[in-house]
Amino acid sequence: MKKSIFIILPLILWAFAACDNDDSEWDSGNLGVNSVEGTWQRVGAYPKVLAIFGSDYTSTIQTFDVDDNLVTDYPQGKYRVAGDSLLVYERGFINRFEFDNDELVITYGYNASRQTTYRYTRVEPAEPEEPGVPEDPTVTSEDFPATVTEGELITITGTQLTSIEKVLFGETEAEVISLEKETLIFKVPVFETTATVAVKLVYANGEKEIELSPACQVTVMAWLSYPNLKLGAHRNSTFGSMMIADKGEVVAACILTTEREREVDFATICNSSMDFNLQSPERLGKNLRNCWCEGKRLEGLTSSSEAEDVERLFPNYYSNKTTFLILSETDEAQKAIIDKVKDGKMVELSTDAFAGMDIKRRDIRTFKKDETTKDESIFEVGSVIAFKTPHKGDKIGIMRILSIGVDFTQDSAWNNENATITFDLYYQK
């Protein structure tokens, strides 16, 4: 039930009004010593009720409704203090008051047949808080790294870090990812070229700073980075089965019906032997007829379409001759690249860096069901794969395989729709 406060207004006491018919006091402003001035809270009332006696000799009863979060004022009009016990109102009614230690006792409707008495305690005005001097932030982290990479997340620990207004690398502001009292996480900004700059935390309206490093090298990556991508098999309706490497986009075969068909670098197909293949558009050839767009074949293709039909219908896609190489731990140069990729420290991705490596396979695959012998065409979890895109200026890409989602307990039809691989992808800028 809604809690409400009902105010019983005092009765108008005509007898007192008759005795108090001299208006000279109101006109002269001689309203008595205002001994009740202030705000008083009614004892025992819930929600609270306040009696407010103003310095201008007007009073108000204020009530609070907790259900509606409503505050209501009931103005009582102008009053004067008669002697040391009566509140005489200009509107004609009279209340009696007395002080009982620290409480104000008010009898409403004094000298009438019906009286109501309430006790009040004074509400002391809150002391204004002295504005404190804010504490300066401090950094307790270990020494700031001498070299960082654009886009890298940096965590700083300390005290009062919420005072930090910005993080500067030279004159370039870093993006703050998270800011808490004892932890600050920010992303190293992007620079056009590798640069050495001072790193500072700025606070106090830009007037103070903490220097994290006088000279930190920001390494500009020579590649685009797309972590944790997922490719589906050729009939996957969720992730898509085609890769646009420079954009980090996984797309469905429907992309070939748009002006972007030229952008596709490679596609997937899961064979009846349940090996998951990555193939260049040219190598996929006629099997494009098995790649679904919104649950059906691409328009113009049938179950008997040949490579010539694909080339005729989608010439810009078909002409893409992406090639692959599964890097080998037994080759010293290739192992060096594998180690850098796995350590996240690779800083060069260029044609020169892969000079002499035979990136020539048009397709690579996972193990078939019951197959155990590995050769240069087979990749597995942990494999690092280099690929070259002649249609994009021979730019180099790298894939690191994170997981393979082929289920040998299911049939081929299930894997055609549900098989996946996940991987990190890097592509030359």
- pLDDT band of residue 24 (cuts 50, 70, 90) is low
How deeply is 224 buried, as exposed, middle or buried, from its count of CB atoms within 10 A (0-12, 13-18, 19+)? middle
Q: How many other C-beta atoms are found inside a 10 Å radius of the C-beta of residue 163?
A: 17
- pLDDT band of residue 17 (cuts 50, 70, 90) is very low
pLDDT given for residue 28 in this prediction: 64
The CATH code of domain 138-219 reads: 2.60.40.10
pLDDT given for residue 124 in this prediction: 87
**pLDDT over 80 at 364, yes or no:** yes
Q: Which amino acid is at 202?
A: V
Domain residue spans of the chain? 14-122, 138-219, 224-428
**pLDDT over 50 at 15, yes or no:** no
Q: Which amino acid is at 151?
A: G
Query: 8, 108 in Cβ contact below 8 A?
Result: yes
- pLDDT band of residue 27 (cuts 50, 70, 90) is low
pLDDT given for residue 219 in this prediction: 86
Could you tell me which of 72, 105, 82 has the C-alpha nearest to residue 30? 82
The tokens for 241 are 């089965």
Same fold for the pair 14-122 and 138-219: no
Residue of 374 and 237 predicted with greater confidence: 374
**pLDDT over 80 at 66, yes or no:** no
Residues 325, 256, 428, 420, CA torsion sign = negative
Q: Write the pLDDT tens digit of every residue in 299-354.
A: 999 999 999 999 999 999 999 999 999 999 999 989 989 998 888 766 577 777 78
Q: Write the pLDDT tens digit of every residue in 125-168.
A: 877 767 667 789 999 998 999 999 888 889 999 999 999 999 99
pLDDT given for residue 361 in this prediction: 96
Q: Which amino acid is at 340?
A: K
Query: 74, 63 in Cβ contact below 8 A?
Result: yes
Query: Where are the alpha helices (H) located in 104-146, listed in sequence order?
Result: none
**pLDDT over 70 at 243, yes or no:** yes
Q: Rounded CA gap, 35 and 42, in Å?
A: 18
Q: Write the pLDDT tens digit of every residue in 88-128.
A: 988 888 999 999 999 999 998 886 778 899 999 999 887 77
Could you tell me which of 196, 197, 160 has the C-alpha nearest to residue 179? 160
pLDDT given for residue 7 in this prediction: 38
Q: What is the mean pLDDT of the chain?
A: 88
User: In angstroms, how far is CA 145 from the centroid of its own chain?
Assistant: 27
Decide which of 1.20.210.10, 2.40.440.10, 3.40.50.300, 2.40.128.50 is the CATH code for 14-122. Answer: 2.40.128.50
How, if at all, do strands 70-82 and 58-65 pair? antiparallel
pLDDT given for residue 8 in this prediction: 36
**pLDDT over 90 at 218, yes or no:** yes
What value does the mean pLDDT take over residues 226-251?
A: 92
Q: Write the pLDDT tens digit of every residue in 256-288.
A: 999 999 999 999 999 999 999 999 999 999 999
Q: Which amino acid is at 373?
A: T
What value does the mean pLDDT take over residues 386-406?
A: 95
The tokens for 240 are 């898509």
Q: Report long-range pairs for 342-346 (Cβ below 8 Å, ≥24 apart).
A: 342/384, 342/400, 346/223, 346/398, 346/426
DSSP 8-state secondary structure symbol assigned to residue 259? T
Residue of 365 and 46 predicted with greater confidence: 365
**pLDDT over 80 at 9, yes or no:** no
